[in-house]
Amino acid sequence: MSVTLVDFACDASKALSKVSRTAADSDKGHVESPKLIDFATRIYTIAEGLEGRAVSDRRITQYLTDLERLCIFSEAILDEDDTIRGSRGVSLPVRSIEFCHLLLRFHGAVRHQVRIDAGELYDLETADLAKQMLLPQPSLSLSEALKLNDITDDGKLILAHAIAKSTWQFYGTKVMNTRWTGDKIRFLAEEGTQGCYSPLHPYVSMLFDGSQVTSGAVDLEFVPAEGLVHWAPRIFTLGALLVSIMSNSALIEHDEKWNWREGFNNQAFWCNQTMSNTAWPSLNIKSELLRKMIREAVEACLSAQVFNRRELTIDERKALLYKRVVWPLEYVIKIAGVQETRACWMAKQSNAAVLPTSHARNTGTLMQKSSSRSRSWIDRLVSSQLNYDIRFFYKINSTASRTKIAILDTGYDPDSLFFASLPRQKRIKGWKDFVDGSAAQDMDGHGTHVLSTAMKIAPYADIYVARVAKDDTDFTQSRERIAQAVRWAVKEMGVDIVSMSFGWPKEDKSRSISQAIETASTERDGRVLFFAAASNSGGDYAEWFPASHDFVNAIRATTSEGSFDTFNAPPNFSGADVLGTLGVDVLGASKDPENPERSDSGTSFATPIAAAIAALVLDAAKIDAQASGAQRNDQTYETLRTRQGMRKMFFAESMSRKMNERSWYLNADSFCSSAESTRKTELDHAALHA
């Protein structure tokens, strides 16, 4: 389980409590159950100490989506005598802080069993094996998948059958009280699928007590209403979902001006228009017989003649649903030779923002398998034992000075979905615009991506953002701004690490940036770490400036397996060994609200990763120094703050692997996942030999 789930719980509980109170006080809409309100209030106490503030509807939606992921790791069970029991007898209610601690524990691939009863949370102290190993990354709704993803034909058929069969199995139960819309059906990335989303295990998002019933007649099982084209809303909703899946397009958006009857009938009109196209279903199936079976199965769901019959009972409608819809889809899957291994899909990115002119970028990049592997690469660091220890360290040492990182780039977009989380907002401690003195903004998107990447890997560091260019074309005029930003970050803000994802073939005659770097380093006795992108020009150029400066750590880009990409600058075989880290198909935050994440490649995107890993190393040294209390450990920390000390640590066996004669691949997975005692030995060794 990712350590960031507690952050999600804290934020989501605020939103959930707000939603619950609003619903309870409103004359419109449904009223949440007392259990939900009580539970939201209890979790709300976890967020004590966080700033109270209004939460936008957009953020409430995102928080609830993240909170839904928490529910997947939990399962309620009840003894036959209706007494709540744990593995050690009758369970007592769990206090809010205990619930917080429960989320912080590492449980492995299990579902920890809890129960919510009468507004109280009970830890049943038992667990069973998870059916799937889930990756700690955001869930994806069916609507998002249809808008943003290239779903394979096998995936469409498996998904269609899974939703149809589940509708049949749960028809007439309380589970169907939640409308199974494109936003409610969600997918989670699973281990073994290289971070892909799989249609094999769709989830339905609902409230804790499973009572998410929306007001209005459309939520009843049978509605023989005047002017309504279909009287079995749940079966019609299934048909509309199937049309959408087979068309690879999202359902029409519901206009707030429509009443429930208008929305229902307009949806039916859209389905009819879509299916009238002879190319539907959009599947590469040549057999006209199989295509006809798919069409007839979906038409049955949408047909008033099949299900608009008053004499049918729920059980009879359920049996008809299996006969006319579920079984035909099952037959098509068997005959068409559908394979589960071809069913996964990955997010597709169409936007291609531009790097500064000194750095090439993969334009029009698809998030292919390498993006999924890159996501897993980053996720391992995010959920590592070290990040868990860092979180705990700052929890019990609330006054301790945090490691500070400065990002010098095109700024950042505060409206990006990545920054909707309040804990992330709180980590951004400083902003300075050296372009035009504006509030936080990013006209290019490059800085937003770079910042989000650093914050993912080092989520507990304090961040300072300096906007030094408007976009890629402005970097050639930015040298003096960059020098000012270096002085601001190091002297005024006191940062430990400076990340610079830009460069030029040579330094200009003014040497203003060099002077700023040298002055900052001298004034701090060398205890400040500079990182810069080496170059994306391949073998035609050596390292560009400022990466080529003696006080700066030049960073190259590798794949998630450690291969150095051809766009890297070659090593100087008469000079020092060079470092590279993940910089190919790196997933980061986007300015586009419709595509909140994008994949980019280049040394620009490897640089913040190296800077963030350096922050983790410094935090590990802090933890060691406090635990040991010896002067030697303080000296270790101070040495690692220097370029020489950090380079020695980066070349340690647990941090890097030699890929060729002069090139080393930085992957801190082994170091970050090791025990504190092991980390201590390696930190001391690096500092001693620096």
Side chain identity at residue 182, one-letter code:
G
Q: Report the largest interatomic distance among the alpha carbons of the chain, rounded to a whole angstrom.
A: 89
- The angle formed by the CA atoms of residues 477, 478 and 483, to the nearest 5 degrees, is 140
Catalytic residue among 409, 442, 585, 600: 409
**Which of 315, 303, 326 lies closest to 230, judged by CA?**
303
Determine the Cα–Cα distance for residues 15 and 21; give it in Å rounded to an integer.
Answer: 10
Contact indicator for 428, 57 with CB cutoff of 8 Å: no
Six-digit token pair at 83? 């007494």
* DSSP 3-state of 659: coil
- On whether the CB atoms of residues 450 and 533 are closer than 8 A, the answer is no
Whether 409 is catalytic: yes
Measure the CA dihedral 429/435/439/441, to 10°: -90
Rg for the chain, CA atoms, rounded: 28
Which among 166, 376, 604, 663 is annotated as catalytic? 604
Return the beta strands (E) in 53-210 as ranges: 74-75, 85-86, 89-90, 110-117, 120-129, 140-141, 185-187, 203-204
Whether 98 and 122 have beta carbons less than 8 Å apart is answered as no
Residue 134 makes CB contacts below 8 A (sequence gap 6+) with: 72, 188, 189, 190, 191
Asked about 154 being catalytic, the answer comes back as: no
Residue of 446, 600, 601, 663 marked catalytic: 446
The enclosing H or E element of 519 equals helix 512-523
SS3 for 291?
Answer: helix
What gap in Å lies between CA 611 and CA 581, rounded to an integer? Answer: 11
If you search the block for the tokens 């090139």, which residue do you land on? 663
Concerning whether 2 is annotated as a catalytic residue, the answer is: no
Angstrom distances, CA of residue 99 to CA of 9, 37, 50, 238, 472: 10, 17, 17, 37, 47
Residues involved in catalysis: 409, 446, 604
